[in-house]
Structure formats: C-alpha cells, structure tokens
A and B are shown apart, each in its own frame.
Chain A
C-alpha cells in the first residue's frame, strides 16, 4: 500500500511542474525579445520532433535516425503548397501531416521488417534518400536554395500570435501523446520494447504494431515541421539531413528517454545552447557527438532519469534516523 501512496504523491508533484511550465510559457512572449521568442518557438516544435523520436525509442525500443526527414517533409509540403499553389494555410498543414504519415507508412513498412541495429540504419538510409531527392530535384523543391517566402495568413503574421498558435499545437500534441503512451496501444509499445518475443506470443503482430507507431511518430514530426516553417518563413534541404535527425536523438538521450518529459527538457536545453553556440562556431555535430558520449558514460538515463534515480534511492533509504 505504501507504493500506492508514493505513486500518487509523485503524480500530483508532476502536475505542479506542468502547471508552472504552462504559466511560464504563457507569459513568455511578453517577457522575451523577438530573438529569444523565435528560439522558444523552435524549441517547442523541435520538442515535438524529440517526442516523436522518443515514442519510438523510449517507449518502443527502436532507434530511428531519420525522424528529421519527416519533419522536413512536413515543412516542404506546407512550403510548396503555400508558395506554389497558394493553398489555404490550414489545408496545407493537414496535407503536410498526411504526407508525413504516408511517407512514414511506406518507409515504416520496410523498416519494421528489421529490428534493432538494422532497423536503425535503414531509417538513416531512407532519411538520406528523402534528403537526396529533395536536394537534387531543383526544379520542384528549389534544391540547395530551399524555399523562401512561406507566409502564414495575415491574422497569424505577428510573431506573438503565431507563438500562441505554436504553443497550442505543442500542448495539444503533448496531451494526445500522453494519453497514447498510457493507453492500451501504449502498453503494447512498452511490451514490444521490454520483450518483443513475449508480446508476440500474446497474440500481437509485432510488425503491424510497430508500423502503426512509426506512422504516428512520422505524422507528429511532420506536423511539427509544418507548423514551424511558416513561422521561420523558409525551409531548406538540411532539415532532412542525417545530422538534423541527430538532434532529437541527442535531446532525448540527454533529457531522459525513460521519461515522458525528458525529450522536452533535453530539446529545450539543446535549442538554446545551439543558438548560443552559433554565436562563435558552426561546428555543431562534434558538440552533439561529445554530449552524447558524456551522457552515455556519465549520466546514463539522462537528466530526468538521473533525478528519478536519486528520488527512488532517497525513498528507499527513508527519512534519516534519529540515532
């Protein structure tokens, strides 16, 4: 029974953190300069990308090195529809999610036939294929130049107002993902992570369920990219590159892949850190690589994983005795 109370206590404590975070995020645009507001917007959308990555990694046990490709494709879909076809903004967003999800379905179909390391490298390969296609197809995608002049509708042009739109999307997706990981499907995902054979012998078609998860993750990544691009007003091929795919990986590992909020924390740290670092160097991959190694060797479980471990230890040891 002690365990029950401990869990309940931890749950309500987490609720306070969430509430504080929402309040802080709500007043942020009135405190921050436009520059930092822009970084915050990027952090929010990249956090969705990180969450989509961790849905597959922390919750399902598969490492995807190509998530950024779906983020980029979402962005490109919106960019192309708005600039070339003058599509309605909202329909473009919808189309972007659909395109990302569809690509997730096609790529996922092949990837889920493999497990572990092989799955991971295949995701990298497909991600690079998408990058390569976008990069080379100059006539359609603008190739190396990318696409500029992607504007949201007039009523969303103000950065502060768009920020609130981004915040709404962020909170909405976080809520849906939270429900997902606690739903029956979420439990099966965790089952596949912990013991795929056992789950298979409970009657679950592993490939099918992994494909569904992959499509959902791709759609979320696509939505994140689609919402980000009109804010930034442009998109470029590097959004789909394997190095960009490394960012949600690093953020999740650093924040704590075994927790729900770890990737968000990691991505916030990463985005602001990156913005600061860009001030004096463009050598970002080496920093990402070094940080990944630091986390693997010195902070396994990431920041939140480490914090959780400390709390559990303290609980196990109990209050200090009086002597």
Chain B
C-alpha cells in the first residue's frame, strides 16, 4: 500500500466528499431554517441529473452545451421546488413532522415514477465536458480532471454559503430564524416568503449537484434513495443543521467510501453504516451537533 495509491484514494475521497457536500448542504440549509427534512431532496438531485442529460442532448452545443444544460436544469429544479413549497409544504407547517415527512415521501414516490416514465429504466451517461475531459497525473496515477471541477464547485459553494449566512442580511435572518422562528416573525419579517426562498435555494443546489454529478457517475433510477441515505449519513455524522458539520460529515463519508472501495468494492456502502453505528453509540447528535438537552 504505497503512499501514492493512498494519496490517490484520498483525492478520490475529497472529490466524492465535495459532491456530497454540494447535495447535503442544500438539505442542511432547508432543515436548519424550516425544520423540515426534505425527503425529496434526493429526488430533485436525480431529476436534475436526468433533466440536464436531456437538455444537453437537445442543445447539441459543443463545449458549452453541458454547462448551459446544467444551469437550465438547476433552474428548472428550483422551479419545481417552488411548486412543492407553495402547494404542499406551506399548508403543512402548522401540522406535525409526520405529515411533513409523509408529504415529502409522497413526492419521492411520485418523482421516482415520473423519472421512470420519462426516461425508462436504463443507465444514462454524459461524457465529461471540455476542458475536463482528461486526467491529471497524481504521483503517476491518473486522476480525472473533472473531479477537480467538482472539488472547485464544492469549495465555491462553501465560500458562497459562508458569505450568505455570515455576511448578508439574509444570512442574519436565516441564523435568527434557525434559532427562534417566532421572534423573527415578530420583527416583521415575512416568514412564509423566507421559507419559500430558502426551499427554492435548497432545491436549486440539489438540481445543480445532480447535473454536475452526471459526468462523474451514472444517471440511473435509485440515485434518489442512494443519495438521500448518504446525505443522511453526512448530517448524522457531522451534526444536524450545522453547515460546518455538513462539511466535516461530507469529508468523512467521502473518505470512508473511497477507502472502502479499495478494501472491498461491493461493500463500500456498508462501511458508511459502520461509521453511522459508531456515531450513534458514542455521540448520537453528531460531531458538531448539540445534544437535545
């Protein structure tokens, strides 16, 4: 087990962690402010991937086609998120978490069939876009340069979210609402619109991550459930509703996955469960989370 192999796997883990952060951050953001865990977040991710594929195929624009398709897909998903929030979630804020969870679960069922109806059950794929088509040599091992694109996007999102949450007025409201919803409402800030915008932003991020993931992995049915479970592992390990926690959790899950592939590829996913189990026994509220009492 030489150092360069390890480093290569480490970088693979970073790439995967970056992609996970892209997805999980949207989930964490929505949960932190709305206190609703959007089960359908993974479905929006999957739909984003499939939509970007179809748009890319239709556009047939060389080089830029992929990026344009990604942006359009992300915007479409954001629109779907808007519909979900306005027509479903809004009416359920006054009801309990079971109804909210069941409603988003219903959306998962609907979207999973919608994708099956729209695209069939086959695997689809998009080739990596220029200029990231090749590989970079890391210690003599080829490392797909597209992975750097993902890592860059991940970093970009970290910076964007940090700026948004800690440096803007919206961010102040977000943090205040996460702490005390009623107080924020009493200060005259329209909570319903805040919720809508946050949900739309979360959906946008989901759709964007899905589109970005397309050249990285396969586009297939079942992506929705797989990614929501991985996101859940991320927030469980890192701590619920905490953005630094999501970052750390993404890193850990990414690494566990990458090194798991080395040991036994079929069981790579099972390793995540082992880490989750350990966290649940030692510190059920996650590394950066706070205990309920």
Interface residues of A (CB under 8 A from B): 57, 61, 63, 65, 110, 113-114, 116-118, 120-122, 124-126, 128-129, 132-133, 136, 242-243, 246, 249, 253, 283-286, 288-290, 292-293, 296-297, 300
Contact = CB atoms under 8 A, between A and B. Distances in A.
B273 A129 contact: yes
Contacts of B163: none
B236 A118 contact: yes
Interface string B108-150: 1110111011000000000000000000000000000000000
Nearest to B224: A242
B109 A243 contact: yes
A178 to B, nearest CB: 23
Given A117-B101, A243-B109, 10 more contacts: A63-B101, A114-B284, A120-B101, A124-B229, A125-B232, A125-B273, A128-B225, A286-B109, A292-B105, A296-B99
Contact of B110 (A61, A120, A290): A290
Contacts of A120: 101
A215 to B, nearest CB: 17
A296 B103 contact: yes
Contacts, number: 96
B270 A290 contact: no
B99 A110 contact: no
A117 B109 contact: no
Interface stretch (B17-25, B90-98, B190-198): B90-98
A285 B113 contact: yes
B185 to A, nearest CB: 23
A288 B236 contact: no
A109 B144 CA distance: 41
B98 A63 contact: yes
B229 A285 contact: no
B92 A296 contact: yes
B191 to A, nearest CB: 20
24 contacts: A57-B98, A63-B98, A63-B102, A110-B281, A113-B280, A117-B37, A120-B101, A121-B228, A122-B276, A125-B233, A132-B270, A136-B266, A246-B109, A286-B110, A286-B113, A286-B117, A289-B105, A289-B106, A289-B107, A289-B109, A290-B106, A292-B102, A293-B106, A297-B91
A262 to B, nearest CB: 15
Given A63-B102, A136-B266, A249-B102, A122 B232 contact: yes
A92 B73 CA distance: 51
B55 interface: no
B229 A125 contact: yes
Contacts of B61: none
Interface in B245-277: 266, 269-270, 273, 276-277
Nearest to A294: B106
Contacts of B226: 128
Contacts of A284: 113
B183 interface: no
B32 to A, nearest CB: 13
B234 to A, nearest CB: 12
A132 B101 CA distance: 24
A284 B116 CA distance: 11
Nearest to A57: B98
Interface string B72-107: 000000000000000010011000011101110111
A283 B113 contact: yes
Given A283-B113, A285-B112, A293 B37 contact: no
B240 interface: yes
B108 A289 contact: yes
Contacts of A242: 225
A128 B42 CA distance: 15
Contacts of B103: 292-293, 296
